[in-house]
Structure 1
Amino acid sequence: MSLTSRQQELLDFIHDYQMSNGSSPTLKEMRVFLKVNSDNSVLKHLKALEKKGVLTRSKRARGVNLLADIKERMEKPDIKLPMYGSVPAGAATLEEQVPDTWISVAENLVQHPTQSYLLKVRGDSMLNAGIMPGDTVIVHYGAKARNGDIVVALIDGESTIKRLIMEGGYAYLKAENPQYQDLHPVSELSIQGIVTALIRNY
């Protein structure tokens, strides 16, 4: 079975969305992701993916059924991840830190269980990215950060959660709240992990 690059992009989007939300994206969300103007364009790709056996669909609003590996993850018990408090303690690597505690997390939220940890968000600099004070974020420290990722970073000795911006070989951190300025490193910018999911208690 071979997928076109466009089909693979859509399948990856559905996979990541299901992993983070426990449900499928709507047609509108898939249309926005693919940057197309009509639902028919999305449906064409979905029908092709269904024909190739990589997904199944239903007539519900979120009509893509859970992918097999996502469903398997959701049926597994919770796992425990280390909680490092509000921000990493300032050390350059996680190996230099001791977790405050261990928290049970639904496994469907964790893409990389052996390379993930938890942080409690403080401050409102990422409000426009949907991250609020008091939220808990799941952070993956085993992947290389890309332009636009929301990251946990150590910048000139201070830890923070911001969006990573890379332009022409230069990297800086951007807040998702106009009340906060961009952070430009004077001497150090070290990425400690990528935010992959969010937990909010109501």
Structure 2
Amino acid sequence: MALANAIQAHPEPAEARSPLLPVNVTCGFPSPAEDFYGAGDGLDLNQHCISNPVATFFAQADTGTSMVGFGIQPGDTLIVDRSRTPRSGDIVMVNWEGGFTVKKLVQRRGRFELHSSADDIPPIIVPPEIELDVWGVVTWSFTRHA
């Protein structure tokens, strides 16, 4: 799944505070919601989603569906943190064969593998003589619903 349009976050992003309900929203049976907001009931997406602004980039997932099983839909906006040390099990953005791709990083028997969530796509086994270029760790993905 190739990615394009990486844009660096501003090192000191402006606050983007939006109202945050003081209750959790039930995704099963409805419960009554509170009709008021408290003084501190706000959510700043920059503070909530970005831990290192100067090392954080946004990218848009292409139209491929190989990562849907891991929660990344075609067209999603991805938040990629280049300062995080990638670990086995992380969703990572890698530079592979001249382009960017997003896969799940798996370390098995001292070797790295790049997995999609699609059963019909075999994992990419990174040869031991190849240094894997992990560009960053995907920390969030946003799906547009409307």
Give TM-score scaled by structure 1 length: 0.47
Shift of 1:183: 1.0
C-alpha RMSD of matched pairs (Å): 2.8
After superposing on structure 2, the runs of 4+ consecutive aligned residues of structure 1 that deviate more than 3 Å are: 22-26
Please state whether the residue corresponding to 2:69 is helix, strand or coil. helix
Q: Which segments of 5 or more consecutive residues in structure 1 lack a partner in the other structure?
A: 1-21, 27-59, 61-70, 77-105
- CA distance 1:200–1:155, shift in 2 (3 Å): same
Q: Within 2, Cα distance between the matches of 1:193 and 1:137?
A: 11
Candidates 97, 114, 130, aligned match of 1:173: 114
Q: Which segments of 5 or more consecutive residues in structure 2 lack a partner in the other structure?
A: 1-20, 26-30, 32-39
Q: What percent of counterpart residues are identical?
A: 26
Residue aligning to 1:110: 50
Deviation sequence 1:164-195 (CA, Å, 0-9, x none): 00013211101111121111234342110001
Residue aligning to 2:16: none
- CA distance 1:197–1:185, shift in 2 (3 Å): same
- Residue pair 1:153, 1:189 contacting (<8 A) in 2 also: yes
Question: Across the two proteins, how many residue pairs are aligned to each other?
Answer: 108
Decide which structure has greater strand share: 2
- CA distance 1:137–1:168, shift in 2 (3 Å): same
Further displaced range: 149-158 or 130-139: 149-158
Q: Within 2, Cα distance between the matches of 1:178 and 1:24?
A: 38
Say which structure, 1 or 2, has more relative contact order (CA 8 Å, 6+ apart). Answer: 2
The residue type paired with residue 193 of structure 1 is: G
Please state whether the residue corresponding to 1:173 is helix, strand or coil. strand
Residue aligning to 2:133: 190
Deviation sequence 1:84-129 (CA, Å, 0-9, x none): xxxxxxxxxxxxxxxxxxxxxx312222222110111111110101
- Residue pair 2:22, 2:41 contacting (<8 A) in 1 also: no
